[in-house]
Amino acid sequence: MTAEERQRRTAAADELCATAYADLGGPETGVALVAVGGYGRGELAPHSDLDVVLVHDAGLELGELAEKLWYPLWDSGAKLDHSVRSLDECIAAGEADLRVALGMLDARHLAGDPNLTLRLRTHMLGSWRREARQKLPGFHELVRSRHAITGELAHVSVPDLKEAEGGLRDATALKALVATWLVDVPHVDVERCRQALLDTRDVAHDIAGRASDRITPEMWGQMAGPLGLEDARAVQVHVRDLGRRLTHISRLTWHRVDQVIARPASLRGARKPDLVGIAPGLAVSSGEVVLAQGAKPESDPFLLLRAAAEAAERALPLSPATAARLLRACPELPTPWPAQARHLLVRLLSAGRPMLPVWETLEETRALQRILPEWDLIRSLPHASVIHRFTVDRHVVETCIEASELIRRVARPDVLMVAALLHDIGKCELGDHSVEGEPIARAVAERIGFTPDEVDLVGMLVRWHLLLSETATTRDPDDPATVQLLLEHVPNPEALSLLVALTEADARAASPQAWTKWRASLVRHLAQRTYAAMLTGASDTEALTVDEPVVEVPAELLEDPSRVHVEVEHHAEGASVTVMSGDRVGLLADAAAMFAVQKTSVNAAKVWTQDPIGISVWETDEQHLDPAVLRTRLESIADGRLDARSRLVRPRPGRLEPTVRVRPEASESATVLEIRMDDRPGVVYLVCATLASLGFSVRSAHVSTLGPQAVDVFYVIEADGSLPAEERAEAAAYAVREALVRTVTLEP
């Protein structure tokens, strides 16, 4: 919907209100019908309310008039948010509630006495300007609280066009800040973004059929046609770029507001800029990094990078005007970069959280294109996986921020930071982003002046940045082949330490669920085993083998192995559940059924035998498990009093057809089955039960959920502990797949 169409819709609503007031013979003086809030700004969305106030001078009673006025508006089908207040009550409400005051700043006359509306607006604006220094800190806190809840329009997976940072609410906040006369904003830019977001919101309302400002994943494609854009990706980039621009302007404006408020009264009238030199060619003025007097950017190719690094390290904004001038004036860096330029880039990347606003300034001024032209490949690129909370570009910045906290763990912080910057650069391509990203990362590393060995290290980290996390969560870390897989791709301890740090930074930047204590412990355990193998030079299976743990078996269980024993050890991330009983084929399936019937998710299971007792340890996210309840469930299943199969194998709708693969490279002592399907309860039970029916035992199970898809890996051996023959392995995979397929009704 265009601005002209919004104006026509607002004019129709204005006429409706004015006509209703006139038909009732409302007073010409002392009473006014006033539009406030969004309607006050004349920005009615298709499903917006008419937010109006019947304002009157003190002493007038308008109860009867108000009742008669609201009914014709309701009868017209308009959604009405209304109130009746005297002028003094409006002023008092605005003084008591900041939100009311902000709504009143946009008061617009509809009918009745225009002088009363003018008095209201004049008083509210005058009060806002007089008390701005006292009210703005509270206003800023309201804005920050909203941002903490809704996230950024430019980066969150399901953005809110109105409430998110960089959304319509922030555009309105910027207008309120300008009304204080303390700061200014680029009005043309703000209004362009605001109108474009209003167009987008109108389309979203039409598609949703209601006043919802959130854009769900399926809506992006539906919005392309009405917005005149090519496809869902184009809509995402368009909307997120608008949010990015408004976010940048808003953050910089609030910083300037804070500087004005903090400025001593004795200096408020000073006209001379307060320049404080900080580095060659650079100074700080009003809390922003700017060019120093006498700076000569035309002869200093490092000045742009130096300005960015200094700003980030000092947690100060880089003035957009300064960044734009440096982009125009600074000479191009030679290829390969001198060591000084590379050092400045690493300083910028290592600055932590303050790097973010500086990076945004470089993006918005297009100065980043000079430093890293490849950035455009992932700018505003949405992630395909729902486990990611940000777009690809913002995720990369967050990875750098997380990696900056880990640089003391590695010998080459510069390599770590550059690898963090480039680890997802291949997501612009359709193939495996790790494979596609490696040559791009190598080219960048070579251009910025790394040596050939360092280029190889950066390339290795980008190519295998998922190897450690995927292997640790989907493979048995105590299987020699698991460590051998790491040894084949990670050349030395230095590279391993870098890979561990990058793995942690990448996961932390993705989402809290991607780096739990349980996942972290798996990664670190595998890394420690790999590091030990590197130090000892172990490469054979026997040297890498780990003995099974020994646990204390209760005496009553040794006396009667048919009994069941369950222990629960709670920890911050959930619980470890140990199940013991007489060793038999099918014990693991019964234990898995126990968890499934209890609706308890399972992350991993490890199984071994301390003759004659079978022992399994299960890792789960559940915080409140009662061992007595679990034992009762397990005994009922083992005795046949509870038919778990009938509960857990009923067909359910699904989007992904189950796949079962034999992974011969994953172990030399077990058949490894990798299963991918929709995440649902009972999968571990069904696999274990199917294998038990064929006479197999499961040595360990590893369950990983990636968005809606579960990736479950089972280490399968014969009942006597031997490695299954190839024909038996294929038979196991076929049987498991057939069992899983029967539980899925594929959605069209």
pLDDT for the residue 269: 57
Q: What are phi and psi of 503, to 5 degrees?
A: -60, -45
Residue with tokens 């703005």: 136
Q: What are the two backbone dihedrals, phi and then psi, of residue 47, each rounded to the nearest 5 degrees? A: -120, 25
> How far, CA to CA in Å, does 199 sit from each of 3, 196, 219, 232, 569?
8, 5, 15, 16, 55
At CB < 8 A and 24+ separation, what contacts does 184-189 make? 185/249, 185/253, 186/249, 189/245, 189/249
Neighbour count for residue 466 (Cβ, 10 Å): 16
8 Å CB contact between 644 and 593: yes
Q: Distance (Å, rounded) from C-alpha 451 to C-alpha 657?
A: 47
The CB-based long-range contact list for 129-134 (8 Å cut-off, 24+ gap) reads 129/179, 129/180, 129/181, 132/180, 132/181, 132/182, 133/182, 133/260, 133/261
Predicted local distance difference test score (pLDDT) of residue 1: 52
Residues forming beta bridges with residue 582, ordered by sequence position: 613
Contact criterion met (CB below 8 Å) for 412 and 494: yes
CB–CB of 685/592 below 8 Å? Answer: yes
pLDDT attached to residue 542: 44
Residue 121 is given by DSSP the state H
Whether 47 and 79 have beta carbons less than 8 Å apart is answered as yes
Order of all β-strands in the sheet with 276-279 = 276-279, 282-285, 288-291
Phi then psi for 59, rounded to 5 degrees? Answer: 95, -15
Confidence (pLDDT) at 466:
94
Rounded to 5 degrees, φ, ψ at 282 are: -130, 150
Query: Tokens for 313?
Result: 């390290």
Listed as ranges, residues in the chain with pLDDT below 70 are 1-2, 265-273, 383-387, 538-548, 655, 705-709, 746-748
* Structure tokens, 729: 């392995």
Q: Which amino acid is at 475?
A: R
Indicate the pairing of strand 652-654 with strand 744-746.
parallel
Half-sphere exposure of 424 (CA within 13 A, CB side): 28
